[in-house]
Structure 1
Amino acid sequence: MTVSTNDIEHARSEVGRVFCPHRLTPRSGVHDVRLRMTSHLLPGVGVGVVDLDYGRAVRIEPDPLETFYLVQIPRRGGAVVRHAGQTVTSTPGTASVLSPFDASDMHWSEGSPHRIFYADQRALDRELGRLLGRPADAPVRFDPGMDMGGPAAAAWSRGVDFLAAELAQPAGGSLVSHPLVAVRLAQALLGKLLLTHHHSGTHLLAEAAEHPAPGRLVRRACALIRDHHSEALTVSDVAEALGVSVRTLQECFRRELATTPTAYLRGCRLDAVHRALRAGEPGTSVTAVALAHGFAHLGRFAGEYRARFGESPSVTLRR
């Protein structure tokens, strides 16, 4: 949905349709807004991205969100956000995070477009359960301020930007047009958010990383990945098959192999592509082989392939 309006009540109504009812008040002496909003929500998946700019300095007062979380990242300018008894001065380097359980009082400055990540509470609870290896005991409450300057937060933000770019593509022309791909990307973004930003369950994730026999677990995981890497396999699938949390699997890989399950899975798939290209018949397509082995981002695939084998995929195919 894309909306542009200068009318305050129209702006309040349209933003409320995407999020929830709220009070919207321009700065004293200002009688209009310059709303520009584009929203993409994936039904049935539980995530979405909204680009929102009021064009004016405004005060926004929503009641508790009840069923969803928001991570609000100013592109420029900033906001002062009061939520859950804390005050966050939000800038492009500090996002504000709203959990569903408390009302908010936000003052957005003029010229502060925001990119907002939307997460359904049930989807987030399910992802936390996957990371823990068991259902969570209580809903997640995030700290209201999120530092965007660290490498983990920057990686998560790039993922949100990637989702926004794919959602903006015409119907059928996006990776997330396929429901299974959309689900996997949503899980990755929710999981990375839970592992990156502090919340009420962070200590549980730390505890879940312990395992009595890390070497044996990693050997079983490596065997499973080698046997099934050609399938639509994810790290969550591996952890579930072995009866451990994703966090435990990641920590054991770090200790035993100084790598991650994701990197190991990607390496197995790159090796399979390498074998397929070396055995390629006339008419074999690098793109077709890469896609068949789960590499959807072809530019990233080419860089990873060259780093692993010292040549481009097309050179291997021509040998």
Structure 2
Amino acid sequence: MTVRTDDVERARAEVGRGFCPHRLMPQAGVRSVQLRMAARRVGGVGVIDLDYGQAVRIQPPALESFYLVQIPRAGSTMVRHAGHTVTSTPGVASVLSPYDASDMLWSEGSPHRIFYADRRTVDRELARLLGRPVDDPVRFDIGMDMTTPTAQAWARGVAFLADELSQPTDASLFDHPQVADRFEQGLIGKLLLAHQHTHSDQLTEPAHHRAPGRLVRRACALISDHHGEALTVGDVAEALGVSVRTLQECFRRELRTTPTVYLRACRLDAVHRALRAAGPGVSVTTVALNHGFVHLGRFASDYRARFGESPSTTLRG
């Protein structure tokens, strides 16, 4: 949804409809706001671009069912949450977990890009990464350093999500459900690896397996049989009853590669076969999307590196 209003009460109601009911109070001397909000969502994730235009105080209760990563594009925000305080700037995002109320002071001229993640989606992806169910709640540290390479890679993913969700109906990559599912899992998984939380230590524990060779053979067979489906490395690890880290370590030791690289190679080979066998009217984009490739520029580069020609050249041949 897209909302524009200068009325404080309407701003509170509309933002509450997108998030949850909350208190909204302009700072001293401010009588109105200049709300500009664009909210987009697919599956268990979403992106909200939000700007009050004026200095405001926002007091939401515990979010209960979702997480928020709030990234100021300018200005600053002071955030109190779960007994901690952070001054959020373009270089430091604030992260709200579902279990505690918050108190936030947004400065004037502080537009935010906000990443929304459903709590069940986060729990499910963490279970995939760990290879076991998670009983304890996932609580993120309140301040997220956005200047690290890992955080910047994650932020590029959020920007890509926002851009695709802004496209007209039937013009977005995420109109394809398998693509949307894969991207959602990757974005949540990257966040869990990029930012500290209550289960981070478990994600970095040494990975061991009694029969690494057998595990890798089973993983390769599974990937070969199902690479055309909405399959992620997390799905493979879950199916084999191990953590993603264990699967990655076993691939490194046995094949000197990663399960992600192996899965991508299987998909590239499948695209190559499909393009060679394609009839009239088939496009490279359609074939790539049907095999799980979201970033078409990277797909084309990887394809050329593997086969020595562009996918369009294969299609024409």
User: What is the CA–CA distance in structure 1 between the aligned matches of 2:136 and 2:152, rounded to whole Å?
Assistant: 28
Q: Does 1:17 align with 2:17?
A: yes
Which residue does the alignment assign to 2:5?
5
Q: Which residue identity does 1:37 align to in structure 2?
A: M
Which residue does the alignment assign to 1:298?
296
* CA apart distance, 1:242: 1.6
Most deviating of 190-199 and 20-29: 20-29
Which residue does the alignment assign to 2:203?
205
Q: Does 1:32 align with 2:32?
A: yes
Most deviating of 241-250 and 56-65: 241-250
* CA apart distance, 1:115: 0.7
Report if aligned partners of 1:132, 1:208 keep a CA contact under 8 Å in 2: no
* Aligned ranges 1:109-128 → 2 under 5 Å: 109-128=107-126
Report if aligned partners of 1:70, 1:119 keep a CA contact under 8 Å in 2: yes
- Decide whether aligned partners of structure 1 residues 272 and 4 sit closer, same or farther in structure 2, where only a CA change above 3 A counts: same
* CA apart distance, 1:222: 2.1
* CA apart distance, 1:249: 1.4
* CA apart distance, 1:30: 1.3
Q: Which residue identity does 1:56 align to in structure 2?
A: Q
- Decide whether aligned partners of structure 1 residues 74 and 278 sit closer, same or farther in structure 2, where only a CA change above 3 A counts: same
* Aligned ranges 1:139-178 → 2 under 5 Å: 139-178=137-176
Q: Does 1:84 align with 2:75?
A: no
Which residue does the alignment assign to 1:242?
240
Report if aligned partners of 1:253, 1:259 keep a CA contact under 8 Å in 2: yes
* CA apart distance, 1:128: 1.4
Aligned Cα root-mean-square deviation (Å): 2.3
Aligned counterpart for 1:262 among listed residues 260, 263, 268: 260
Point out where structure 1 has 5 or more consecutive residues left out of the alignment: none
* CA apart distance, 1:309: 2.9
Report if aligned partners of 1:208, 1:245 keep a CA contact under 8 Å in 2: no
Which residue does the alignment assign to 1:62?
60
Q: Deviations over 1:9-42 (max 9, x none)?
A: 2111111111122222222111111110011233
Which residue does the alignment assign to 1:183?
181
TM-score (normalised: structure 2): 0.91
For the residue of structure 2 that corresponds to 1:88, the secondary structure is strand
* CA apart distance, 1:281: 6.5
Report if aligned partners of 2:70, 2:114 keep a CA contact under 8 Å in 1: yes
Q: Which residue identity does 1:181 align to in structure 2?
A: V
Most deviating of 173-182 and 78-87: 173-182
User: What is the CA–CA distance in structure 2 between the aligned matches of 1:215 and 1:12, rounded to whole Å?
Assistant: 57
Aligned counterpart for 2:95 among listed residues 94, 97, 102: 97
Q: Which residue identity does 1:118 align to in structure 2?
A: Y
Report if aligned partners of 2:179, 2:292 keep a CA contact under 8 Å in 1: no
For the residue of structure 2 that corresponds to 1:248, the secondary structure is helix
- Decide whether aligned partners of structure 1 residues 136 and 178 sit closer, same or farther in structure 2, where only a CA change above 3 A counts: same
* CA apart distance, 1:265: 0.7
TM-score (normalised: structure 1): 0.90
User: What is the CA–CA distance in structure 2 between the aligned matches of 1:181 and 1:285, rounded to whole Å?
Assistant: 17
Which residue does the alignment assign to 1:41?
41
* CA apart distance, 1:255: 4.0
- Decide whether aligned partners of structure 1 residues 232 and 17 sit closer, same or farther in structure 2, where only a CA change above 3 A counts: closer
Q: Does 1:196 align with 2:216?
A: no
User: What is the CA–CA distance in structure 2 between the aligned matches of 1:261 and 1:102, rounded to whole Å?
Assistant: 37
Report if aligned partners of 1:69, 1:118 keep a CA contact under 8 Å in 2: yes
Report if aligned partners of 2:237, 2:243 keep a CA contact under 8 Å in 1: yes
User: What is the CA–CA distance in structure 2 between the aligned matches of 1:229 and 1:41, rounded to whole Å?
Assistant: 26
- Decide whether aligned partners of structure 1 residues 225 and 4 sit closer, same or farther in structure 2, where only a CA change above 3 A counts: same
- Decide whether aligned partners of structure 1 residues 179 and 269 sit closer, same or farther in structure 2, where only a CA change above 3 A counts: closer
- Decide whether aligned partners of structure 1 residues 275 and 53 sit closer, same or farther in structure 2, where only a CA change above 3 A counts: same
User: What is the CA–CA distance in structure 1 between the aligned matches of 2:215 and 2:121, rounded to whole Å?
Assistant: 28
User: Size of the alignment, in residue pairs?
Assistant: 317
* CA apart distance, 1:285: 4.4
User: What is the CA–CA distance in structure 1 between the aligned matches of 2:36 and 2:170, rounded to whole Å?
Assistant: 25
Which residue does the alignment assign to 1:307?
305
User: What is the CA–CA distance in structure 2 between the aligned matches of 1:81 and 1:34, rounded to whole Å?
Assistant: 21
- Decide whether aligned partners of structure 1 residues 215 and 147 sit closer, same or farther in structure 2, where only a CA change above 3 A counts: farther
User: What is the CA–CA distance in structure 2 between the aligned matches of 1:305 and 1:238, rounded to whole Å?
Assistant: 23
Most deviating of 167-176 and 11-20: 167-176
Q: Deviations over 1:158-210 (max 9, x none)?
A: 12112212222222322323444333322222121112211011122223733
